[in-house]
Amino acid sequence: MTVGPLSARMATLCDEILARVGPEAAGQVEHVRDRLAEPLRIAIAGRLKAGKSTLVNALIGRRVAPTAAGECTRVVTRFRYGPADRVDVVCRDGQRRSLPLGDDGMIPQRLGVPAGRVAYVDVTLTSEKLRGLTVVDTPGLASTDTGLSARAAAELGEAHKPDPTAPFDAAIDADSASEVAAAEAVAYVFTQAVRADDVQALEAFRSASARLASSPINALGVFGKVDTLVGGAADPWPVAGPLAEQQAALLARTVSEVIPVVGLLAETGEAGRLTAADCAALRQLSTVPADQLRVLLASVDLFRTRPAPLDAARRERLLELLDLYGIGFCLAQLAAEPSLSSGELVRRLVQASGFPRLQRTLEQTLRWRADAIKAGWALARLERIAGHTGDLRDRETLRAATERLLREPAYHRLRLLEVAQRVATGAVPLPVAWERELTRLATSDDARWILRLPHAGPDELAAAAVEAAGRWRVYAVAGAAPAQSRVAQVAHRGFHLLAQAIRAQAAAPPATEEVTRPAAAEEATRPADAPAAPPGHDEAWWREQATEAGR
């Protein structure tokens, strides 16, 4: 993985610190430095049976994480890229026990070690999708098993004392917490209604993340299993879209957005589970008269028992891969285009799952911010080490180094991320338009996207950045509360640095510009071929543009 400039400078700082601190602090700093070279780490969290493991399999592109309850679903599991497929059970005492993948290609249900002794399961896979992203699957929250709840709370970095009245609150499993609290981002999976303890779980993740906490900056919600909202094979998207928007409003201070997904279809399509034989079975079923199909697809029991040209085993496999909505969708596609290829059918199936929107969001809100997110995480860890070390000289060395780093213009991005996180979570209230502008400034270095001037030239962009800096400066000194004033001063300097960067880039020799802004911000008008359903991130951006243009 290519290390970004902020992370590279942070790694250099770690090397400088290592030569000046004692062995205890040095070991912790070395861990921070090594993490900077790793891919962005995202934790998948949520309640039991919310569909976390199914989503993990879709992200990985292989069905490796078991979705049925078992020993391996009771512990933290980390999926990362490696030269060979390998499963290591890492115990609390540091010992590692290697296991082969099962005959079905999945992690074995039995780990050979009591779950209470397991710190985490380390899975390396040759999946190309893991080259730039490490995925951490967590135990479910709100378990009746107190040990499991403890590990889940620890996975989220819960740092306060146990509360016996809380559904998932428990003592920290230090080994699991040290592994998983290092995640730079979180995707929280839930189904249907958001509960109070769903919000509490996200708050627990925030408390563990220090400078770059879980917030709309680096957290998103995944509304899974939307196909269960309606009965039979009916289309769930007319219900799922508005419900996801309501949930997003409820979690506005915690996640950037809520993305509805049919996890089963995403897993089946992305993991290549739908075989040629399965497609042939669907083609055979598509020849059944429409009125008979409606009865077949009315319920799972009817699909299993009503007369049809498929045997019981084949029907059961289609239910396992697609459930009724997926089966109905495939049959409708084949009825409309009998010659449709198997590959095209799978592609449409993935589109119907809503998973491409989640992939785009990960690219747009996490990967292209990865350098700043990782550098911010590393800085928070160094500050935490300084706060906990008992050696006064090491403490002063660490604090002096981090303060010196933050004075560098490039690292003002971390100040911006910090204040943007505080504003996004509601800790420091700002007008909505100002909050959005601050978030854009903190999370991108593309001036056209930040300033909402997609076609502007360097002179216009520089002038707009200076004007924005002036507005924030006036806000800081006239009428803002102390906390708002501190945020405004950081934004003021950020826009001045942006203006300087625009002028410097304009004066530099022509070079191929790498686009770093979200793909949805390419243009300020919606393209004619933009997807209409399921609801997509692009549409949300177009709506935002229309709203802002009307102000």
The 10s digit of each residue's pLDDT in 267-303 is 999 999 999 999 999 999 999 999 999 999 999 999 9
- pLDDT attached to residue 152: 46
Contact (Cβ atoms closer than 8 angstroms) between residue 220 and residue 187? yes
Going along 7-55, which residue ranges are E strands?
A: 40-46
Q: List phi, psi (to 5°) of 390.
A: -90, -10
The alpha-carbon radius of gyration of the chain (Å, integer) is 25
User: Pick from 68, 44, 61: which is nearest to 268 by CA?
Assistant: 61
Whether residue 473 is predicted with pLDDT greater than 90 in this model: the reply is: yes
Query: Region 128-149: what's the mean pLDDT?
Result: 70
Tokens of 194: 């958001």
Q: Model confidence over 208-253: pLDDT tens digits? A: 444 444 567 778 899 999 998 887 889 999 999 999 998 888 887 7
Query: What are residue 38's DSSP bridge partners?
Result: none
- pLDDT attached to residue 295: 93
Tokens of 244: 């996801």
Mean pLDDT in the chain? 81
Q: List phi, psi (to 5°) of 125.
A: -135, 155
Query: How far apart, in whole angstroms, are the C-alpha atoms of residue 519 and residue 187?
Result: 21
Contact (Cβ atoms closer than 8 angstroms) between residue 59 and residue 134? no
Q: Which helix (H) or strand (E) holds 394?
A: helix 392-406
Residues counted in the chain: 551
Place of tokens 């739908």: 274
CA distances to 315, 435, 437, 469 from 432, rounded to whole Å, are: 51, 5, 9, 17
Query: How far apart, in whole angstroms, are the C-alpha atoms of residue 303 and residue 121?
Result: 38
- pLDDT attached to residue 3: 75
**Coil/strand/helix, residue 223:** strand
DSSP conformational letter for 86:
E
Q: How far apart are the first and last CA of the chain?
A: 42
Alpha helices in 252-391 (DSSP H): 263-270, 276-285, 290-296, 300-305, 312-336, 342-353, 355-365, 370-388
DSSP conformational letter for 141:
B
Whether residue 201 is predicted with pLDDT greater than 80 in this model: the reply is: no
Query: Region 504-523: what's the mean pLDDT?
Result: 56
CA 75 to chain centre: 20
Q: Which pLDDT band, with edges at 50, 70 and 90, does 138 fall under? A: confident
- pLDDT attached to residue 511: 55
Helical packing angle, 355-365 and 263-270, nearest 10°? 80
Whether residue 539 is predicted with pLDDT greater than 50 in this model: the reply is: no
Q: Model confidence over 392-432: pLDDT tens digits? A: 999 999 999 998 888 888 888 888 888 888 888 788 999 98
236 preceded by cis ω (within 30°)? no
Q: Which helix (H) or strand (E) holds 136?
A: strand 133-137
**pTM (two decimals):** 0.75
Q: Which residue has the higher pLDDT, 517 or 27?
A: 27
Query: How far apart, in whole angstroms, are the C-alpha atoms of residue 36 and residue 378?
Result: 7
- pLDDT attached to residue 141: 59
- pLDDT attached to residue 343: 94
Q: Which pLDDT band, with edges at 50, 70 and 90, does 381 fall under? A: confident
Going along 12-63, which residue ranges are E strands?
A: 40-46
Residue type, 141: L
CA distances to 54, 122, 191, 377 from 85, rounded to whole Å, are: 19, 11, 32, 29
Whether residue 479 is predicted with pLDDT greater than 80 in this model: the reply is: no
- pLDDT attached to residue 92: 86
Whether residue 544 is predicted with pLDDT greater than 90 in this model: the reply is: no
